[in-house]
């Protein structure tokens, strides 16, 4: 699939020179820092040297005083506290964090995760009734609850108080909870708005520790926070970057038994970064709730011993194998449905339905379909007599707005610009497929239907020095809003060792005209260019720079994202 290269605007040359001199880095790196908002020495210091004292006071979050007071009251009066969370990675890590912290000094607490298939997303009536039947008088809701007004009211009638920790956008109707911790509330002045659900759970225990316990103890939970930030695809900037930096350090040096067991079963031998968490730990934790019940994921994350954790991790890994089978088979079916229908192939959208598809993998399948057919995509299945689905968008297109344009045909929907969930009556499906295609076709541009590669800056190979690599590494952790820099090099050629592997990918030594440096390069899914590069054609190359460790030896490797001639 052809990709469109988009170049970030280059900063003012004088500003680049000033920053280069002030922090002693070359102009290419200074330009990237300026592109990302780092303007002076102090901002560069904070960027390159994250510190825990850069975290904001948790009591700046609206209602935090109320939340801490209510938990302390529950502890003093021996009330039963229920920690209630979503079934995804963010929710399960949040539950594990808050519950394990509470259990370190208080015994009358437990957790509840709704069943994805039977209860669906959010606070459920079944969950509230379970809390009542088991004598809980305080529920701490994590990564959900901001839209649970009805359920909070139901709980209030049953003598159960709610503390809500949610990072999703609220409706106009705020639930009648004791405390609602959500930086996205219009009336919340907290300086950082992009915390994950688990990150909000961390702010809650941090506040409680500052008031009633020992502050340093809460930093032992940052490995869970890092896993949530990576897996929930929230921005890796500001406070999240600090939490990630120290969370990844703990994850690599001294993780809790559950995460240690997952690392071992995934065969991880090197240090984990954000990408490593997203592709190894995240799917395994998610798998529990996708093909069975997410309670197993929380039990793993709460494990006290290596033996217990290893047993639970083995079970979850089996679930992940099942999830992968569902994922692959459903993706194959979905793509075959498109390939067999000329009108679907020409469409501006993909909306596919099969009642037997597993509800837990349809979001993954939507993303997989976009890899081949780059356009807004919805994958639907049958659940509890309703058609339910996951929607994914393409760069720059407002998916949520398109769903609003079809809201008359939907039972309910929610989400944001790039991802959403929806439910509709089976009889409305044909009309919805037609209307969604019409709405998208009238609003999407041709550019939005072409995948983009965003390039930070053009560099020559001789700029890639050991010092350059050392500073580049200090820009991590990389992720949304702080991506690994993408470079462009021109007049590149294959210097040696060109090979194709798995019929899809290329390896070669990359050289550059007028430059002595050559680098090992790997080009995934770009074997279609083999003939031209083998013939010696010069080309432009978009790439990232990484270190590759093999058999104990580490070398610089260029990861090629695209080639143009």
Q: 3-class DSSP state for residue 372? A: helix
Q: Kindly provide the residue ranges of all beta strands, DSSP E only, lying in 384-501, ordered along the sequence.
A: 386-392, 412-415, 419-424, 452-455, 457-458, 487-501
Cα–Cα nearest to 170, from 183, 160, 155, 179: 183
Listed in order, the ranges of the chain carrying CATH 3.90.1640.30 are 58-317
Confidence at residue 362, expressed as pLDDT on a 0 to 100 scale? 93
Q: What is the pLDDT along the chain (565 residues), one digit of tens a residue?
A: 789 999 999 999 999 999 999 999 999 999 999 999 999 999 999 999 999 999 999 999 999 999 999 999 999 999 999 999 999 999 999 999 999 999 999 999 999 999 887 887 789 999 999 999 999 999 999 999 998 999 999 999 999 999 999 998 888 889 999 999 999 999 999 999 999 999 999 999 999 999 999 999 999 999 999 999 999 889 999 999 999 999 999 999 999 999 999 999 999 988 999 999 999 999 999 888 777 788 999 999 999 999 999 999 999 999 999 888 999 999 999 999 999 999 999 999 999 999 999 988 999 999 999 999 999 999 999 988 899 999 999 999 999 999 999 999 999 887 778 888 899 999 999 999 999 999 999 999 999 999 999 999 999 999 999 899 999 999 999 998 999 999 999 999 999 999 999 999 999 999 999 888 999 999 999 999 999 999 999 999 999 999 887 777 888 999 999 999 9
- State both tokens at 423: 């439910």
Confidence at residue 382, expressed as pLDDT on a 0 to 100 scale? 94
Q: 3-class DSSP state for residue 196? A: coil
Confidence at residue 418, expressed as pLDDT on a 0 to 100 scale? 86
Kindly list the distances between the CA atom of residue 191 and the CA atoms of 52, 195, 407, 516, in Å, as whole numbers in the listed order: 16, 11, 34, 48
Confidence at residue 413, expressed as pLDDT on a 0 to 100 scale? 87
Confidence at residue 122, expressed as pLDDT on a 0 to 100 scale? 87
- State both tokens at 523: 């080009």
Listed in order, the ranges of the chain carrying CATH 2.40.50.460 are 4-44+453-564
pTM for the model stands at 0.91
Are the C-beta atoms of 399 and 415 separated by less than 8 Å?
yes
- State both tokens at 149: 């007004």
With a CB cutoff of 8 Å and minimum separation 6, the contacts of 340 are: none
With a CB cutoff of 8 Å and minimum separation 6, the contacts of 263 are: 255, 272, 280, 281
Please say whether the structural domain 4-44+453-564 has been given the CATH code 2.40.50.460.
yes
Architecture of domain 341-449: Roll (3.10)
Kindly list the distances between the CA atom of residue 317 and the CA atoms of 286, 301, 425, 557, in Å, as whole numbers in the listed order: 10, 14, 35, 31
Confidence at residue 118, expressed as pLDDT on a 0 to 100 scale? 82
- State both tokens at 277: 């968490």
Confidence at residue 561, expressed as pLDDT on a 0 to 100 scale? 97
Fold held by 58-317: inorganic pyrophosphatase (n-terminal core) (3.90.1640)
DSSP track, 108-169: SEEEE---TTTT-SS--HHHHHHHHHTTEEEEEEES--TT-HHHHHHHHHTT-EEEEE--SP
Listed in order, the ranges of the chain carrying CATH 3.10.310.30 are 341-449
SS (H, E, C) 469-497: HHHHHCCCCCECCECCCCEEEEEEEEEEE
């Amino acid at each position: 699939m052809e990709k469109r290269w988009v170049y970030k605007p280059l900063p003012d040359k004088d500003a680049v020179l000033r920053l280069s001199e002030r922090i002693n880095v070359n102009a290419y790196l200074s330009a990237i820092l300026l592109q990302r908002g780092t303007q002076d020495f102090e901002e560069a210091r904070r960027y390159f040297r994250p510190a825990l004292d850069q975290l904001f006071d948790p009591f700046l979050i609206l209602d935090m005083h109320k939340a801490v007071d209510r938990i302390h009251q529950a502890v003093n009066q021996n009330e039963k506290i229920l920690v209630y969370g979503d079934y995804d990675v963010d929710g399960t890590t949040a539950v594990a964090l808050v519950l394990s912290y509470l259990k370190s000094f208080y015994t009358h607490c437990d957790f509840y995760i709704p069943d994805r298939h039977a209860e669906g997303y959010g606070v459920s009536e079944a969950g509230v009734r379970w809390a009542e039947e088991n004598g809980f008088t305080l529920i701490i809701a994590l990564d959900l609850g901001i839209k649970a007004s009805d359920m909070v009211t139901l709980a209030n009638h049953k003598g159960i108080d709610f503390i809500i920790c949610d990072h999703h956008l609220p409706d106009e109707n705020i639930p009648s909870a004791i405390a609602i911790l959500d930086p996205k509330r219009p009336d919340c002045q907290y300086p950082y708005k992009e915390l994950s659900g688990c990150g909000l759970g961390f702010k809650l225990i941090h506040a409680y520790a500052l008031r009633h316990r020992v502050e340093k103890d809460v930093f032992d939970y940052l490995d869970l926070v890092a896993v949530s930030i990576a897996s929930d695809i929230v921005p890796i900037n500001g406070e999240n970057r600090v939490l990630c930096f120290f969370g990844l350090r703990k994850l690599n040096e001294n993780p809790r038994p559950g995460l240690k067991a997952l690392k071992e079963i995934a065969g991880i031998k090197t240090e984990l970064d954000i990408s490593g968490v997203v592709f190894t730990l995240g799917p395994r934790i998610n798998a529990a709730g996708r093909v069975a019940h997410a309670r197993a994921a929380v039990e793993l994350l709460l494990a006290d011993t290596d033996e217990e954790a290893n047993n639970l991790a083995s079970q979850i890994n089996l679930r992940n194998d099942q999830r992968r089978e569902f994922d692959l088979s459903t993706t194959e079916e979905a793509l075959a449905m498109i390939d067999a229908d000329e009108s679907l192939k020409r469409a501006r959208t993909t909306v596919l339905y099969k009642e037997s598809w597993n509800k837990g993998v349809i979001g993954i399948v939507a993303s997989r379909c976009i890899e081949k057919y780059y356009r807004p995509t919805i994958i639907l299945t049958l659940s509890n007599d309703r058609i339910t689905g996951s929607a994914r968008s393409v760069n720059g297109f407002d998916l949520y707005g398109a769903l609003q344009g079809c809201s008359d045909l939907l039972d309910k929907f929610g989400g944001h610009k790039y991802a959403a969930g929806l439910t509709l009556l089976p009889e409305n499906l044909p009309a919805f497929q037609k209307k969604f295609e019409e709405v998208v076709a009238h609003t999407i541009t041709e550019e939005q239907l072409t995948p983009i590669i965003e390039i930070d800056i053009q560099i020559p190979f001789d700029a890639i020095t050991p010092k350059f690599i050392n500073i580049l590494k200090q820009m991590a952790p990389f992720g949304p809003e702080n991506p690994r820099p993408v470079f462009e090099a021109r007049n590149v050629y294959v210097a040696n060792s060109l090979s194709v592997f798995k019929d899809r990918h290329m390896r070669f030594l990359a050289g550059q005209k007028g430059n002595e440096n050559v680098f090992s390069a790997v080009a995934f899914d770009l074997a279609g260019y083999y003939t031209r590069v083998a013939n010696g054609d010069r080309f432009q190359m978009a790439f990232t720079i990484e270190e590759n460790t093999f058999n104990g030896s580490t070398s610089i490797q260029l990861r090629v994202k695209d080639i143009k001639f």
